[in-house]
Amino acid sequence: MLRLIPALILILILALFALSNRQPVTIGYWPTDYTTQVPLAVAILVGMAIAFVLGAAVVWVDHLGLGRRARRAESEVRRLKAQLADAEARKTPPSYTQGLPSMRRPEPVLPPPEG
């Protein structure tokens, strides 16, 4: 219900705007000689709607390119993860005794006997 409040406020503002601007205006369609009379509010609101749709189309076209880039990046990540898994599967576990000194206790060195 809370989501509807901004929409209802916008509808109320648009209705008040339409009721306040009822005087007729003549609109000519270039390059033809066709003209028509419509209320001022209708002319303004239709113009705003056309601008909104054109803006949404520009954003949508831009989003198509971003979506394509995202899909390519996701496939690249999947490919690299598979490569990493293959490399980790081929890797042998390290030998912990290799390269370390022997674990034997050193022989005690006795001093030469005196005498």
Tokens of 5: 């409040």
Average the pLDDT over 25-42 and give the result.
92
pLDDT, tens digit, 9 for 90 and up, residues 60-87: 998 888 888 999 999 999 999 999 998 8
Q: Can you state the angle between helices 40-90 and 4-20, rounded to 10 degrees?
A: 150
| pTM exceeds 0.85, yes or no | no
Q: Which of 66, 63, 85 is nearest to 74 (CA)?
A: 66
